[in-house]
Amino acid sequence: MDIFVVEGGKKLNGSITVGGAKNAAVAIIPAAILSGDVCTIENLPTISDVNVISQILVQLGAKVNKLSESVIEIDARNMDCCQVSQELAKNMRASYYMLGALLGRFGRARVPMPGGCYFGVRPIDQHLKGFEALGAKTGLRDGVISLTAEGGLKGACVPLDVVSVGATINIMLAAVRAEGLTVIEHAAKEPHIVDLANFLNSMGADVRGAGTDVIKIRGVKKMHGATYSIIPDQIEAGTYMIAAAATGGDVTINNIIPKHMESISKKLMEMGVEIYEYDESIRVTRSGDLKACNVTTMPHPGFPTDMQPQMAAAMAIARGTSSITEGVWENRFQYVAELKKLGVQAEVQGRVATFVGVDHLKGGHVKATDLRGGAAMVVAALVAEGETAISEIYHIERGYEQLIDKLVGVGACIHRKTVSDDFK
Ligand code: UD1
Q: Which residues line ligand 1 (CB under 6 A)?
A: 23, 26, 93-94, 122-127, 162, 164-167, 188, 305-306, 328-329
Q: What is the CA radius of gyration of the chain?
A: 21
CB half-sphere exposure, 312, CA atoms < 13 A: 38
The pLDDT of residue 92: 85
- Order of strands across the sheet with 274-277? 13-17, 250-254, 281-285, 274-277
For ligand 1, atom 1, name the residue with the nearest CA: 165
The pLDDT of residue 161: 97
Inter-residue contact 200 to 172 (CB < 8 Å): yes
Mutate to test the pocket of ligand 1, among 56, 164, 194 (most ligand atoms within 8 A of CB): 164
Secondary structure class of 141 (helix, strand, coil): strand
Rounded distance from Cα 217 to ligand 1 centre (Å): 21
Question: 315 vs 51, 119, 249, 353, 369, CA distance in Å?
Answer: 34, 21, 16, 11, 19
Rounded distance from Cα 359 to ligand 1 centre (Å): 35
Closest CA to 250 of 259, 237, 260, 241: 241
Residues whose CB is less than 8 angstroms from the CB of residue 94 and which lie 6 or more positions away in sequence, other chains included: 23, 26, 27, 30, 49, 53, 114, 116, 166
Residue span(s) of the chain under CATH 3.65.10.10 come to: 2-19+232-418, 22-229
- CATH number belonging to domain 2-19+232-418: 3.65.10.10
Rounded distance from Cα 234 to ligand 1 centre (Å): 17
Active site residue 117: yes
Inter-residue contact 62 to 79 (CB < 8 Å): yes
For ligand 1, atom 7, name the residue with the nearest CA: 23
The pLDDT of residue 122: 80
Inter-residue contact 204 to 220 (CB < 8 Å): yes
CA distance 371 to 365: 17
Residue 129 CA: which ligand 1 atom is closest?
Answer: 23
Inter-residue contact 412 to 16 (CB < 8 Å): no
| Ranges of the chain with pLDDT below 50 | none
Question: 342 vs 70, 306, 310, 345, 370, CA distance in Å?
Answer: 36, 21, 14, 9, 17
Residue 300 CA: which ligand 1 atom is closest?
Answer: 14
Please list the alpha-helical segments (H only) found in 348-393: 371-383
For ligand 1, atom 9, name the residue with the nearest CA: 23
CATH number, domain 22-229, options 3.40.50.10140, 3.10.20.30, 3.30.230.10, 3.65.10.10: 3.65.10.10
The pLDDT of residue 315: 98
CA distance 352 to 137: 39
CA distance 37 to 161: 35
